C-alpha cells in the first residue's frame, strides 16, 4: 500500500468517527499547548530578569554576604557602612563608584494615602552607581547621610500613589511611623512589576543612616561597585576582596560580577522552565494514553475489516502501518493545533498579563516532535495488535 | 507440460495432500477438524465442497484460501508448499491468485461499491486511475454499472453479493473461493449469483470452489468433495 493511499485510508477512518477523533486530538492538543505556553512563560521570565540585570551595566560588581553558595540559604550580613568607605579608599581613580544599601519593607503614609513599599536605605552614591536618574527635586547628599536626615526620594509609582495629582516635593510623609520630608522623585524605570522581581518604580530611597535606625540594624545587605571599565572588572574585584579581607573572613562575603549573576540566575530560571515543561509534558503523556486507548477501541471495532483486508492481500505491516498512521495523524494534528493555540496564548499573556512570554524555536520543535512521537509510541501497541490479528478469527467475528 | 501438471496432463492449480488441521483448545484438548484430506483443483476447475456443519468445510476453506496453514500434510499452490511460505508471501498469494466470496458479503459499509471493489487493488502496485478503471469494469461485468456510488447499505442482498464478486474478480484470480455464497439470499437471487459465478468460471478460465451445504448448489459443480467428520466421504472425486 502506498503512503498516500495509507494516509487516505487513515483520514477516512478518522473522519468516520469525527467526534471521537476530535476528543482524542483534544487531549494531545492541550498537552502541546501547555508545553509551548509554559515554556514561553519560563523563557520570557528568564530573558526579562537577565535583561534587567544586564541593564545595570556590564562593569558592575555585587558584594553579597556569604560564600557565594546560594544553595546554603540566606546569610546574615556582616557589612557595615565603613566597608563602603574602605573599598572606596582602596579603589584607584576614586569618584562615586561604591554604594551600599539595606533593604526593608515599610508602611508609607501621606494625607490618608497608604502604601506598603520597599524602602532602600542607601548611601548617597547609590543612584549614580546603579544608574537611577532623578526626575524632579534633589537627590540624597553626603550630608544627609552623615546627619541621618529624615528625607526621602520616591520612586515614580510611589509618588503617584501617595500624592495623586500633587507635587510631592517638600511634602511630609510617614515611613514606618517616622516623619520624612520628600525631596525628590526618581525617573520611571518602566518594565512594570514582574512577578519575578521587585518593581523598581515602587520603592523609596532614604539615607542609609536614617534607614538603619528605622530597621534597627547597623548592617548593609549589599555593596555595589562599578568598575572603571569592563576590562578592569577582575582587577577591581581583587581590590574589593583585599579591602574586605582586612576585616572579614573570606566566607563572609563574595564578590560577583554581573556575568556571574546572569549565569546563576539564568541557570535557576532555566531549571524553572524545564520543570514547567515537564509538568506540561505530563498532560501530553495523558493525551497519549488517550490516543492509545481509543486506537485499541478502534482496532476491536474494526476486527472484521482487518480480517477482510488480510484476506484481500494486506500484509501484517500494511495493517500495522495503517493504524500507526491513524495514531500519528491524530497526535500530529493535535500537536499542530496545540502549537498555534500555545503561541496565541503566549502572545495573549505577554499582552495582557505582567508575565512576559517568549515562544522559542526549541519548544516548537519539541512540541511537534513529541506529539508525533507520542502517536508512534502509543500507537504501536494497538497497531501491532491489529496487524497480528488472525484473519480467520477476525473474519468470523460478528 | 510443467512439473505440476497432473498425471493426465491437466494443469494443477492447487493440491491438498493428506491435510490435517488440529485446533488446540486449552492446554491438553486437541480438536481435529481435518484428519487427512487429499484432492486437487485444476485451472478452470469447478468443485463443490459439501458437508454438514462441523464436517471441516470452513477449516478447509481457510486452508485453501491460505488464511491458515495445515498442522501436517501439504497445501501446494502452483507447486509451492504454503507451510514453507512466510506470511507476507501468503498475503501476496491471496492478493494475486485468490478471490474470496463470503456468505455475509464482508463489504466495508463506509465505502462505496466502487471503493469496495478497489480494496484488493490497493495492496498491489498500480496507479489510482488504473485501479478505478479496473474496478469499474468489474462492477459493469456483474451488472452494477449504475450502482457504483452506492454504499452497501443502499443495495439489496443480491446486489451486495455482486459487489463482492466484482471485488473477487477485479484481481483476475486463478481461483475464486466462495463460502456459502447463496446462504444469505433467497432462492431466485441465489440462482442468479451461482449463474454469475459459473459464467466467470467458464469465460475466464478461473477455477471455482464453492463451499455449501445445499445439495442443489453442489449438483451444479463438475465435481463434488464431501466431507464427513474431517475426512472425505465415499463418492468424493479427488
As averages over each run of 10 residues, the pLDDT of chain B (238 residues) reads 50 91 87 92 93 88 93 92 93 94 92 95 91 95 94 95 95 94 91 93 91 90 92 70
CB-CB under 8 Å, A16 with B91 = no
What local confidence, expressed as pLDDT, does residue A196 receive? 43
Chain center to CA of A114:
30
- Nearest-Cα distance to chain A for B95, in Å, is 4
- Look up residue B25 and give its DSSP letter: E
List CB contacts (< 8 A) between A308 and chain B.
106, 108, 119
- Grid cell, residue B220, equals 451444479
Are A391 and B67 within 8 A, CB to CB?
yes
Whether the Cβ atoms of residue B47 and residue B224 lie closer than 8 Å to each other: yes
Query: Does B78 lie at the interface with A, CB-CB under 8 angstroms?
Result: no
Q: List CB contacts (< 8 A) between B163 and chain A.
A: none
Regions of chain A with pLDDT less than 50: 192-196
Tell me how far apart the alpha carbons of residues A254 and A392 are, in angstroms, rounded to a whole number. Answer: 77
> Smallest Cα–Cα separation from B202: which of B225, B187, B189, B220?
B220
Q: What is the pLDDT of residue A398?
A: 59
A391 and B123: CB-CB below 8 Å? no
Q: Which residues of A103-121 are buried (b: 16+ CB within 10 A; e: fewer)?
A: bbebebbbeeeebebbbbb
CB pair distance less than 8 Å for B167 and A309: no
Question: Which residues 168-227 of chain B have a CB within 8 Å of chain A?
Answer: 171
Count of C-beta atoms within a 10 Å radius of residue A31: 28
Which residues of chain A does B119 touch, with a Cβ-Cβ cutoff of 8 Å?
A: 308-309, 312
Candidate from A304, A305, A314 with C-beta closest to B123: A314
Sequence-ordered list of residues with C-beta below 8 angstroms from that of A207, at least 6 positions apart, any chain: A121, A122, A124, A140, A144, A145, A148, A149, A151
Q: Is the CB of residue B119 less than 8 Å away from at least one CB of chain A?
A: yes
Cβ separation B67–A310 shorter than 8 A: yes
Segment A116-134, tens digit of pLDDT: 889 999 999 998 888 888 8
Q: What is the pLDDT of residue B238?
A: 55
Phi, psi of B54 (to 5 degrees): 90, 5
d(CA A157, CA A140): 19
pLDDT attached to residue A70: 57
Instruction: State ipTM.
Output: 0.92
Note the pLDDT of residue A194. Answer: 45
Amino acid A263: pLDDT: 85
- Closest Cα in chain B to A17: B110
Per-residue pLDDT at B161: 95
Residue B203 near residue B209, CB atoms below 8 Å: no
Contacts of B171 in chain A (CB under 8 A): 313
Domain segments of chain B as ranges:
43-69+86-232
Cβ pair A16:B110 closer than 8 A: yes
What is the Cα–Cα distance from B119 to B113, expressed in whole angstroms? 10
Class at the top of the CATH hierarchy for domain B43-69+86-232: alpha beta
Compare all CA atoms of chain B with the CA of A3 and give the residue at the minimum distance. B122
Q: What is the pLDDT of residue B234?
A: 67
**B3 burial class (0-12, 13-18, 19+ CB within 10 angstroms)?**
exposed
Alpha-carbon distances of B64 from B23, B90, B97, rounded to whole Å: 17, 11, 11
Instruction: Give the whole-angstrom CA distance, residue A72 versus residue A37.
Output: 32
Cα Rg, chain A, nearest whole Å: 31
Contact between A1 and A316 (Cβ < 8 Å): no
Amino acid at each position: 500500500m502506498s503512503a498516500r493511499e495509507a494516509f487516505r485510508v487513515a483520514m477516512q477512518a478518522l473522519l468516520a468517527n469525527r467526534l471521537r477523533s476530535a476528543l482524542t486530538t483534544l487531549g494531545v492538543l492541550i498537552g502541546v499547548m501547555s508545553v509551548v505556553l509554559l515554556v514561553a512563560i519560563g523563557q520570557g521570565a528568564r530573558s526579562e530578569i537577565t535583561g534587567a540585570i544586564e541593564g545595570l551595566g556590564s562593569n558592575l560588581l555585587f558584594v553579597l554576604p556569604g560564600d557565594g553558595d546560594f544553595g546554603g540559604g540566606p546569610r546574615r550580613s556582616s557589612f557595615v557602612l565603613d566597608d563602603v568607605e574602605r573599598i572606596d579608599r582602596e579603589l584607584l581613580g576614586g569618584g562615586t563608584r561604591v554604594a551600599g544599601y539595606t533593604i526593608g519593607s515599610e508602611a508609607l503614609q501621606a494625607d490618608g494615602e497608604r502604601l506598603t513599599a520597599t524602602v532602600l536605605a542607601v548611601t548617597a552614591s547609590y543612584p549614580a552607581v546603579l544608574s537611577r536618574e532623578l526626575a524632579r527635586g534633589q537627590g540624597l547628599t553626603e550630608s544627609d547621610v552623615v546627619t541621618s536626615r529624615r528625607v526621602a526620594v520616591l520612586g515614580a509609582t510611589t509618588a503617584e500613589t501617595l500624592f495623586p495629582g500633587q507635587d510631592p516635593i517638600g511634602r511630609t510623609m510617614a515611613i514606618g511611623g517616622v516623619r520624612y520630608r520628600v525631596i525628590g522623585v526618581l525617573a520611571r524605570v518602566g518594565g512594570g512589576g514582574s512577578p519575578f522581581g521587585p518593581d523598581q518604580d515602587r520603592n523609596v530611597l532614604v539615607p542609609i543612616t536614617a534607614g538603619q535606625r528605622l530597621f534597627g540594624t547597623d548592617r548593609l545587605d549589599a555593596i555595589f561597585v562599578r568598575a572603571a571599565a569592563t576590562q578592569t572588572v577582575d582587577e577591581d574585584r581583587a581590590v574589593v576582596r583585599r579591602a574586605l579581607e582586612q576585616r572579614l573572613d573570606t566566607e563572609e562575603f563574595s564578590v560577583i560580577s554581573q556575568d556571574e549573576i546572569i549565569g546563576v540566575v539564568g541557570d535557576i530560571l532555566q531549571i524553572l522552565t524545564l520543570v514547567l515543561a515537564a509538568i506540561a509534558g505530563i498532560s501530553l503523556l495523558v493525551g497519549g494514553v488517550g490516543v492509545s486507548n481509543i486506537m485499541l477501541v478502534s482496532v476491536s471495532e474494526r476486527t472484521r475489516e482487518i480480517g477482510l483486508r488480510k484476506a484481500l492481500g494486506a500484509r501484517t505491516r500494511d495493517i500495522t502501518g495503517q493504524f500507526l498512521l491513524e495514531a500519528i495523524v491524530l497526535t500530529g494534528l493535535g500537536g499542530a493545533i496545540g502549537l498555534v493555540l500555545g503561541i496565541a496564548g503566549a502572545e495573549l499573556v505577554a499582552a495582557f498579563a505582567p508575565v512576559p512570554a517568549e515562544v522559542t524555536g526549541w519548544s516548537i520543535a519539541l512540541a511537534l516532535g513529541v506529539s508525533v512521537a507520542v502517536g508512534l509510541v502509543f500507537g504501536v501497541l494497538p497497531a501491532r495488535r491489529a496487524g497480528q490479528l488472525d484473519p480467520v478469527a477476525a473474519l468470523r467475528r460478528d | 507440460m510443467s512439473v505440476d501438471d497432473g498425471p493426465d496432463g491437466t494443469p494443477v492449480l492447487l493440491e491438498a495432500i493428506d491435510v490435517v488441521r488440529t485446533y488446540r483448545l486449552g492446554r491438553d484438548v486437541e480438536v481435529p477438524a481435518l484428519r487427512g484430506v487429499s484432492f486437487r483443483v485444476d485451472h478452470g476447475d469447478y468443485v463443490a465442497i459439501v458437508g454438514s456443519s462441523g464436517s471441516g468445510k470452513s477449516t478447509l476453506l481457510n486452508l485453501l484460501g491460505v488464511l491458515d496453514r495445515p498442522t501436517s500434510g501439504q497445501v501446494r499452490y502452483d507447486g509451492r508448499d504454503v507451510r514453507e511460505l512466510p506470511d507476507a508471501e501468503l498475503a501476496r498469494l491471496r492478493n494475486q491468485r485468490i478471490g474470496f466470496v463470503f456468505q455475509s458479503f464482508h463489504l466495508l459499509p463506509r465505502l462505496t461499491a466502487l471503493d469496495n471493489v478497489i480494496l484488493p487493488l490497493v495492496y498491489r502496485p498500480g496507479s489510482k486511475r488504473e485501479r478505478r478503471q479496473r474496478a469499474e469494469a468489474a462492477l459493469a461485468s456483474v451488472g452494477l454499472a449504475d450502482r457504483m456510488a452506492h454504499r452497501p447499505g443502499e443495495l439489496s442482498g443480491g446486489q451486495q453479493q455482486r459487489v463482492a464478486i466484482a471485488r473477487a474478480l477485479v484481481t483476475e484470480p486463478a481461483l475464486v473461493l466462495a463460502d456459502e455464497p447463496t446462504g444469505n439470499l433467497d432462492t431466485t437471487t441465489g440462482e442468479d449469483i451461482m449463474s454469475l459465478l459459473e459464467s466467470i468460471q467458464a469465460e475466464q478460465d478461473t477455477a471455482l470452489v464453492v463451499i455449501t451445504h445445499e445439495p442443489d448448489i453442489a449438483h451444479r459443480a463438475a465435481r463434488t468433495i464431501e466431507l464427513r467428520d474431517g475426512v472425505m466421504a465415499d463418492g468424493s472425486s479427488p
